[in-house]
Amino acid sequence: MSLAAATKYFFEQAAQGLDLEPGVKQMLETPQRELLVQVPLVKEDGTLEVYSGFRVQHNDARGPFKGGFRFHPSVDLDEVRGLAALMTWKCAAVNIPYGGGKGGVAVDPFTLNKRELKQLTRTFVSKIFPIIGQKVDVPAPDVNTNAEVMGWFVDKANELARDDVRGIVTGKPIGIGGSLGRTEATGRGVALTTLRLLKWLGKDPTKMTVAVQGFGNNGSWTAYYLHQAGCRIVAVSDVSGGFGNEEGLDIPAMMEYCKTSDKHLLAGYPDADPISNAELLEGKVDILIPAALENQITKENAARIQAPIVIEAANAPTTPEGDAILNERGITLVPDILANAGGVTVSYFEWVQNLQSFYWDEDTVNTHLTNIMHKAFDDIWNLAKERDLTLRTAAYTIAIERVVEAMKMKGLFV
């Protein structure tokens, strides 16, 4: 099943219980706007490469479209469409005043040097500029894009706008309008969610073993905060391979290692045993955290997952078939639209700071983040208990209700 179809499937599962009019359902299943652009790049060896770029705006009933953009060879319209819808549900699930959007360029950024990547980013900005804006559609980092890329982004946007429009993108470097705590926010939010779940399950974090698939910005900070809370992180991986240690990995040391290693990957990290991706996903741990790409837990491997708890730090790591198998087996799963919402939540704080030109200290950012994540988790947890729903269906239910309410208040249907 394609990613857009999978997102629609999860939406429909919750919509069944909501008695939505067919027309309203159709509006929510279809993006409001989709833009495909050509992104040409003259590389430094003189060759011309032409990449495909995308920005999909799913729904803006609750506020400006919001969502990151990624640089990855697998990016296509279907993927971006699915991820844009996920952003609508995510922002509504944690009750921040945004709709959902997503973007990307189908490129392997590891084949480009920094100057080429900067040029590619600037061209992408100029191509999508007609449909984005501080109060319209606000991009941010996602897979293979980071604060540095957002710095290039805002510079080009300011140039095109002939104005300081720093609120047009979030996840920027601190010196040019970024927020303290934004880099760590997605992982911090995943850890907050995990610890909240353990609290309600009456489990002691210091007795938990954890495997994290992915050691990019999201996975590494997730591992860091759970390690700090006393969990034993026994396996992590990135595109260079898997790394295990039954005694517990030294996560801060691994993060330091990545800062200086080739392509910032874990390859060659000494204090761990090599493990395969399947060993990481199917290993005997208390908590499994997929924090890389989509489609990792599928009908092929879901029956072999041994962890009784799965926290979706990545977007869409579980396919609908995989999800059904995990549910049948009684595995507790915290869905992406709740678990990884910390990133977009601090993007929201960054945007508020940009619009007010008043900057918060890190404690303020983290206190607000904790409050929002705890409230969202507890509302979803309580609804799931009350109506005997999975946490995913409960999260979608709350999100859909909020979006439909906003559409109703705007008179988008009567």
Give the residue numbers annotated as catalytic, written as ranges. 102
- Close Cβ partners of 116 (under 8 Å, ≥ 6 residues apart): 41, 43, 44
- Which residues ranging from 137 to 196 are in contact with ligand GLU (CB under 6 A)? 140-142, 170-171
One of 340, 353, 354, 397 touching ligand GLU (CB under 6 A): 340
CB of 91 to ligand GLU, least distance (A): 8
Report the 10 Å Cβ neighbour count for 19. 6
Alpha helices (H) in 202-262, listed in sequence order: 217-228, 251-260
One of 68, 181, 187, 317 touching ligand GLU (CB under 6 A): 68
Options 3-11, 103-111, 342-350, 378-386: segment touching ligand GLU (CB under 6 A):
342-350
CA gap 240, 266 in Å, rounded? 7
- Which residues ranging from 288 to 317 are in contact with ligand GLU (CB under 6 A)? 315
CB of 263 to ligand GLU, least distance (A): 21
Options 3-11, 299-307, 341-349, 404-412: segment touching ligand GLU (CB under 6 A):
341-349
- The yes or no reply on residue 395 touching ligand GLU (CB under 6 A) is no
- The yes or no reply on residue 66 touching ligand GLU (CB under 6 A) is yes
Give whichever of 208 and 314 is closer to ligand GLU, judged by the CB atom.
314
Q: Sign of the CA dihedral 95, 96, 101, 107?
A: negative
CA gap 209, 326 in Å, rounded? 19
CA gap 121, 41 in Å, rounded? 10
Contact 137, 101 (CB under 8 A): yes
Alpha helices (H) in 271-390, listed in sequence order: 277-282, 320-328, 336-339, 342-356, 362-387
One of 88, 167, 343, 372 touching ligand GLU (CB under 6 A): 343
Identify the bridge partners of residue 37 per DSSP, sorted by sequence position.
53
- Binding mask of the shown chain, residues 78 to 107, with x at each position contacting ligand GLU by CB under 6 A: ------------x-----------------
- The yes or no reply on residue 198 touching ligand GLU (CB under 6 A) is no
Say how many CA atoms lie within 13 Å of 42 toward its Cβ: 1
Contact 287, 209 (CB under 8 A): yes
What residue number has its CB nearest to ligand GLU? Answer: 68
Give whichever of 190 and 211 is closer to ligand GLU, judged by the CB atom.
190
Say how many CA atoms lie within 13 Å of 52 toward its Cβ: 12
DSSP 8-state symbol, 48: E
One of 291, 333, 344, 400 touching ligand GLU (CB under 6 A): 344
Give whichever of 60 and 282 is closer to ligand GLU, judged by the CB atom.
60
- The yes or no reply on residue 67 touching ligand GLU (CB under 6 A) is yes
Burial zone of 238 (CB within 10 Å; 0-12 exposed, 13-18 middle, 19+ buried): buried
CB of 219 to ligand GLU, least distance (A): 13
Alpha helices (H) in 94-166, listed in sequence order: 114-128, 147-161
Compute φ and ψ for 344, nearest 5 degrees: -70, -25
Options 61-69, 129-137, 279-287, 318-326: segment touching ligand GLU (CB under 6 A):
61-69
- Close Cβ partners of 125 (under 8 Å, ≥ 6 residues apart): 152, 153, 156, 157, 160
Rg (the chain; Cα; Å): 20
CB of 358 to ligand GLU, least distance (A): 20
Options 150-158, 338-346, 355-363, 372-380: segment touching ligand GLU (CB under 6 A):
338-346
Give whichever of 282 and 336 is closer to ligand GLU, judged by the CB atom.
336
- Binding mask of the shown chain, residues 346 to 375, with x at each position contacting ligand GLU by CB under 6 A: -x----------------------------
CB of 265 to ligand GLU, least distance (A): 20
Give whichever of 8 and 232 is closer to ligand GLU, judged by the CB atom.
8
Identify the bridge partners of residue 293 per DSSP, sorted by sequence position.
none
Structure tokens of 231?
Answer: 């969990």
Site size toward ligand GLU (CB under 6 A) is: 14
Give whichever of 34 and 250 is closer to ligand GLU, judged by the CB atom.
34
Report the 10 Å Cβ neighbour count for 51. 20
Give whichever of 257 and 348 is closer to ligand GLU, judged by the CB atom.
348
Identify which of 171, 187, 184, 145 has the alpha carbon closest to the alpha carbon of residue 313.
187
CB of 385 to ligand GLU, least distance (A): 26
Binding stretches for ligand GLU (CB under 6 A): 66-68, 90, 140-142, 170-171, 315, 340, 343-344, 347
